Structure 1
Amino acid sequence: METTETFEERAFTSSIPELTNIFSNLKPASSTLTFENTQSGMWRLMRQSSDNVFKLLKLDKIDKLDKIATEGTKLFENPSFKKWVNFVYKRKSEKPEATTEAIFATLAAHYGDGANLARLLELGKLHRGDKHIADLAAALQVAQLEKWNKNEKTVEDVLEILELDKTQGNPLLDPLFVALSAYVKFKHPNDPTAASDAMLTAFRKFYKDDKAWARFLFPDTSTEPFAGLAAALQVAQLEKWNKNEKTVEDVLEILELDKTQGNPLLDPLFVTLSAYVKFKHPNDPTAATKAMLTAFRNFYTDDTAWAKILVDGTRTDSVKNIAYDLLYLQLSLWEEGEKTLFTHLGLDQIEGELFESPLFKRWAAIVDGIHLYAPNTASDVILSTLAAHFGEKAAWADILIAGKKVPDMEYFARRLEMRQIERWHFGVRYFIDDSYNAKAKASKAESNYTAKKNANRSDLNRTAKKAAIEAIAVAEEAKKAADEAVAAIKRETLEPMVSTLRLRKKLLRNCKRCLKRSRPQEDRSKVSAPGAEPDSNFDVHG
């Protein structure tokens, strides 16, 4: 199908030499005199107009309205159409651009300068039999765009002219959407952003319902060339929401994903929400997933229902990756509580054949997916979960035996059975090893304790000895200081006393000596007689 790029490459680069080439290639193959050449010459001699010859060739008999889709193709395939184009070219041979204008004027007079002619030209561009016819149709479409622009038609005007405001289905999937896109780019050749904004504004003037418009903008199928053309509109819509500070929750409500009867992840508009979340968090996938999960949980508060929505989403290829991202994040949040995905899915309440439950099969597949590169770990998780709810004895054995009888679960059940046998086998070995290791660890711990105790005691002894030595040194220093203090006291106190006593003793001797000289002889004998009693009347002081 014609794409915008193909159209622009052909249409907007049309020049006079190219138009000359188009018309020259539409000439009869032979230059010999033929009836057609004679007839064309007669028309020129009779000065017939392009419109009259168009009617003489009965090209005006092509239905104008309801059969345009089928009859339009026949117009370009009709040999008379080529004959008419050659006639117009010969009349305007000196001005090739005048040929295009004349052809366009005749077609516009017959089909009207609106949706019918635009649709006719769009069909002509798709002509497979003759490339020159397709090129002519593209040149005529450029002429139509130039006429609209010359008449100062706005994007909204052209949208109405092309009747895209009345489309029963998706206007972005209408072939004339290509023509509108071409006109918008014709108006804004160097500003893609302005072009997208202009087109978005024009459409929203007629399509005011947010949800309906979003369904048009993000269809669940991609159809060329419309997917490429709609991409610019999609970005423009996302930018407008972001500019208006719409949160993820706001857009979720705008798209009415909070009211979806079925699974909102399977709604075509979920793609729109996902695109907006990525637009808000372009470089942080974790933040994007968290924002989406938070938004949904504001509306889907029941854990069991939400778990089933996520699990169901993992089964659909188009949203599988997003569903898994949401599920893994949700599981990490549930691990903080008492419940798990197994209980949220109600698998612990199944009384019948567990392995026949679609939810159990999906749960097991999810566990396998989480531990994709560690199958034994996945089996251990499944076995541990089932054992926690059903026990590991008779009930558990019955479940495994019953599981092997389910056709599409037989291999899975046998895998679990083999893993359980391994767990039991290694469990005995691990028990013996653990006992030996525990005893060895206890012995080692005791040895370490004794060594540490002795080391501590030795450390204490060394510390005490060191403290004693330090105490003795301090005591010696104290004794020395005390001796010095005593000596100082003696020097300061006793020496003056001894000196005084000595002085008095000396004076006393001197006095005695003087007395001896001053007494009479007879008295001296008394005094000096050894053992004699001193005279009581004798005063030693005189």
Structure 2
Amino acid sequence: PVTMAIDSKRKLSYVHVLLATLALLICASEALSVINANKLIRSSVPSRRRHTFGRRLRATVDDTDTNYDFEDRGFTGITKIKDFTQAGTKKLQKLAESAKTKLTSKPTIDQSFKQFKVHKVKSNVFESKQFQAWAKSVAKATKNNQDAADTAMLATLATHYGDETLASIIDAAKLVTSTKSMATRLENMQIKQWMDDGDAQLNKWAADGKTGDVVYKLLRIDTEGSNLLKSPKLKTWMNYMTKLHKDPYDVLLYKLKPHYDDAGLAKMLVLSKKDSAAKTVAEKLETLQFEKWKNNEKSVADVFKFLKLNEDSTTLLKNPVLNTWVAYVEKLNKNPYELLFSAIKSKGFDDVELAKLITAAKQDMHTGAIVGKLEQVQFQKWARDGKTSGDLFKYLGLYKAGDKLLESPLLNNWLSYMQMLRKDPYAQLVFTIKKSGFDEIDLAKIINTAKQDPKTSALAGQVEKLQLDKWSADMKSSEDIFKFLRLDKEGDKVFESPVWGTWAAYLNKREIDPDADLVMFNILRNKFGDEGLANMVTKAKQVESTREVAEKLQLELWRANAHSSDYIFNLLKLNEKGNKILESPGPLSTWVAYVRRVNSFNSNRGKFQPILLLEKRFGEKELAQMFVNSKSRHYASKPGIIENLQEWQFKKWMVQKKKPGDVNKMFPSEDLTSLQIKYEFKNFYKENVDILMI
């Protein structure tokens, strides 16, 4: 029996040694390098130097424990073995890293902590000469590896002081400029270690009798501010509260009360629900808050008041906290929008003032949905009161707006009300404005003016869409609208007409691109003739506001006269530029636009035709060199034309199945131009190889 006991004990020791060896092998390289470098903190007693390595092997044994035998070295018993084997590979790696740290520094760092008498410092520990000297010695021992030094120091400090005392020491050190950086690093590392240890750390706190308040402070959760609900530290604390069989949400809500009033807490929860990392916690806290209000018999009016929603009615509809009140009212199975409408009206706001508040808040990111439903309550009231389109138009003061109609935000309310009544808003608008002496042409002029103002452009675009949709639904042709807008009476001032933009917009809506330009050209040509239109185009090109449309019509005039691309090239005097053609981006852009327009009915041919024609004139490689050289000299006064042409040359190469290697062969020289071509094509190829479909 004695022999069997000895054998069993030896077998157990072999297991210990085997596992310890495996852990040590993982970190052996770095550990041995540190040992061989002989950089560890040495004892000041000479006779101890030769024993440093031997003492290091017993890093897992407490210095005060002298009652151990050989069989317990390396691991401290069956419990360690069990934990080790159950944790698997990750645990092994973690223990290996721990063993590495301990091998390199733990015994001597613990000794030097006492040697420098850090443990005798009673206050301002980090500022003391003893601590500073110890910190320098640890830095030297860890070869100035800050992470390793911090890890070693934290282990010693935590062992000596314990979690709570160390936390207080760190807090004090963070208030001093000279020690703030180190204290912050150690604090972050300490918290990270606790969080990484997960359930094991929670069990340790529970075994040590740590309360939820203590752990809350240890994790510094109260320093998270507005980020509290999405902090990973909060999750650790909540898990600990669950382990203590307490409702973490109930405790958290209680802890937040001293820092937030009801309005502040509600705002934080509303904003946190927008963040995916905090949404779940925020929603549960809000639900708990509602339950407490309900259990305490808080009325809708009570909550409205202590959320401070009654303090400023002008900003009420943009207050994020309004979401909390609405949700609580719904929890009580009441209609919050009816109650909100009544609450605002009770403050002395009439329908027009309320409509203005609604319009101003409809696009608010926090309350827009609520405001939209409030608007429906107002519409329903108007409908019950029998308000017609004309009644409301007058009631909202829109009759008085005149040609400033689209500057009134209340027009949007009126249009929405028409839609709720299932009436054609455009037809109702035209019918109503006629009573003020306006017609559709006047409305078109008002729209075009309003489109130029950023403040009114959105509403103007909305009304213009209604106008164009109505004409399109009535099957009005482009020529019908040309005459309806009396553009046929404008003569050579047609491009300057305030309703020209309306007709151009209708062409773009009705005609299929690129035929919109062709339809415009044909209608104008039929009205004014080739010579008359040519003269109009010439004049229009001299005016900034009409130059763009004139240039488009110029292309159609050339095309109608069947001019070749070579003829236009010469007409624009590009033939006189030679290889400096890219120095004239204006005429070049016009020629490119003409070539593409001529070939617009053959999309595949049209795409590459300008490049093919230019390569025919200058050569493929020479043109590529011209692009690069011209870009470097910044000749392009019309941004984009050179880059655009180069891009189409690159696309053509890719269609021809050319790869960067093929282009490298095209430009074997190592001059700057060739290198730039190869570099730019390589990048273009990389970005477009998977998506370019031509």
The one-letter code sitting in structure 1 at the alignment partner of 2:257 is: A
CA distance in 1, matches of 2:230, 2:535: 76
The corresponding residue for 1:29 is 198
The one-letter code sitting in structure 2 at the alignment partner of 1:213 is: L
Distance 1:409 1:394, change over 3 A: closer
For the residue of structure 2 that corresponds to 1:359, the secondary structure is: coil
Residues 364 and 382, structure 1, Cα contact 8 Å, conserved in 2: no
- 1:176 pairs, out of 314, 321, 327, with 321
CA distance in 1, matches of 2:346, 2:550: 56
CA distance in 1, matches of 2:281, 2:380: 38
- 2:268 pairs, out of 120, 142, 145, with 120
Distance 1:77 1:209, change over 3 A: farther
Residues 27 and 86, structure 1, Cα contact 8 Å, conserved in 2: no
Residues 218 and 269, structure 1, Cα contact 8 Å, conserved in 2: yes
Residues 124 and 137, structure 1, Cα contact 8 Å, conserved in 2: yes
CA distance in 2, matches of 1:165, 1:356: 55
Structure 1 segments unaligned to the other structure (5+ residues): 1-25, 44-49, 63-69, 333-338, 421-542
CA distance in 2, matches of 1:304, 1:317: 16
The corresponding residue for 1:505 is none
The corresponding residue for 1:324 is 468
- 1:237 pairs, out of 368, 378, 387, with 378
Residues 270 and 320, structure 2, Cα contact 8 Å, conserved in 1: yes
Residues 197 and 236, structure 1, Cα contact 8 Å, conserved in 2: yes
The corresponding residue for 1:71 is 225
The one-letter code sitting in structure 1 at the alignment partner of 2:288 is: A
Alpha-carbon shift at residue 276 of structure 1 (Å): 0.6
Query: How does 1:114-153 map onto structure 2 within 5 Å?
Result: 114-126=262-274, 128-129=276-277, 134-153=279-298
CA distance in 2, matches of 1:393, 1:76: 71
Distance 1:28 1:105, change over 3 A: farther
Distance 1:292 1:325, change over 3 A: farther
How big is each residue's C-alpha offset from its partner over 1:481-517, in whole Å with a ceiling of 9 and x where there is no partner? xxxxxxxxxxxxxxxxxxxxxxxxxxxxxxxxxxxxx
CA distance in 1, matches of 2:504, 2:558: 17
Residues 534 and 554, structure 2, Cα contact 8 Å, conserved in 1: no
Residues 507 and 520, structure 2, Cα contact 8 Å, conserved in 1: yes
Alpha-carbon shift at residue 57 of structure 1 (Å): 6.0
The corresponding residue for 2:435 is 298
Residues 448 and 499, structure 2, Cα contact 8 Å, conserved in 1: no
The one-letter code sitting in structure 2 at the alignment partner of 1:357 is: E
CA distance in 1, matches of 2:210, 2:556: 91
Distance 1:254 1:170, change over 3 A: farther
The corresponding residue for 2:339 is 198
Residues 311 and 362, structure 1, Cα contact 8 Å, conserved in 2: yes
The corresponding residue for 2:550 is 409
Query: How does 1:86-485 map onto structure 2 within 5 Å?
Result: 88-89=241-242, 92-93=245-246, 96=247, 100-112=249-261, 114-126=262-274, 128-129=276-277, 134-166=279-311, 170-188=315-333, 194-206=335-347, 208-219=349-360, 222=363, 224=365, 226-260=367-401, 263-265=404-406, 267-281=408-422, 285=424, 288-299=425-436, 301=438, 305-312=442-449, 316-324=460-468, 341-342=485-486, 354=493, 356-357=495-496, 359=498, 361-362=500-501, 364-365=503-504, 368=507, 372=511, 382=524, 398-399=535-536, 402-403=539-540, 406-412=547-553, 415=556
The one-letter code sitting in structure 2 at the alignment partner of 1:148 is: W
CA distance in 2, matches of 1:298, 1:157: 49
Query: How does 1:460-539 map onto structure 2 within 5 Å?
Result: none
Alpha-carbon shift at residue 279 of structure 1 (Å): 1.2
Q: May I ask how many residue pairs the two structures share in their alignment?
A: 350
The corresponding residue for 2:691 is none
Alpha-carbon shift at residue 92 of structure 1 (Å): 4.7
The corresponding residue for 2:600 is none
CA distance in 2, matches of 1:82, 1:361: 63
The one-letter code sitting in structure 1 at the alignment partner of 2:446 is: I
How big is each residue's C-alpha offset from its partner over 1:335-393, in whole Å with a ceiling of 9 and x where there is no partner? xxxx95337xxx9578xx62551626325425636974797886676567x66xxxx79
CA RMSD of aligned residues (A): 5.0
Residues 221 and 228, structure 2, Cα contact 8 Å, conserved in 1: no
Structure 2 segments unaligned to the other structure (5+ residues): 1-194, 452-456, 477-482, 562-694
Distance 1:229 1:340, change over 3 A: same
How big is each residue's C-alpha offset from its partner over 1:197-247, in whole Å with a ceiling of 9 and x where there is no partner? 234333444472544533443458745564444332232222121112122
Distance 1:340 1:319, change over 3 A: closer
CA distance in 2, matches of 1:156, 1:33: 44
The one-letter code sitting in structure 1 at the alignment partner of 2:498 is: L
CA distance in 2, matches of 1:396, 1:342: 17
Distance 1:249 1:38, change over 3 A: farther
Distance 1:207 1:136, change over 3 A: farther
Distance 1:150 1:260, change over 3 A: farther
Distance 1:360 1:302, change over 3 A: closer
- Alignment identity in percent? 20
How big is each residue's C-alpha offset from its partner over 1:147-171, in whole Å with a ceiling of 9 and x where there is no partner? 3333444444433332334458754
Structure number with larger C-alpha Rg: 1
Distance 1:368 1:77, change over 3 A: closer
The corresponding residue for 1:482 is none
Distance 1:42 1:299, change over 3 A: same
How big is each residue's C-alpha offset from its partner over 1:412-432, in whole Å with a ceiling of 9 and x where there is no partner? 367589999xxxxxxxxxxxx
For the residue of structure 1 that corresponds to 2:200, the secondary structure is: coil
Distance 1:378 1:77, change over 3 A: closer
CA distance in 2, matches of 1:299, 1:154: 49
CA distance in 2, matches of 1:83, 1:396: 78
The one-letter code sitting in structure 1 at the alignment partner of 2:431 is: T
CA distance in 2, matches of 1:396, 1:125: 62
Distance 1:206 1:61, change over 3 A: farther
CA distance in 2, matches of 1:33, 1:395: 90
CA distance in 2, matches of 1:32, 1:54: 11
The one-letter code sitting in structure 2 at the alignment partner of 1:365 is: A
CA distance in 1, matches of 2:303, 2:437: 43
Distance 1:409 1:393, change over 3 A: closer
CA distance in 1, matches of 2:381, 2:464: 28
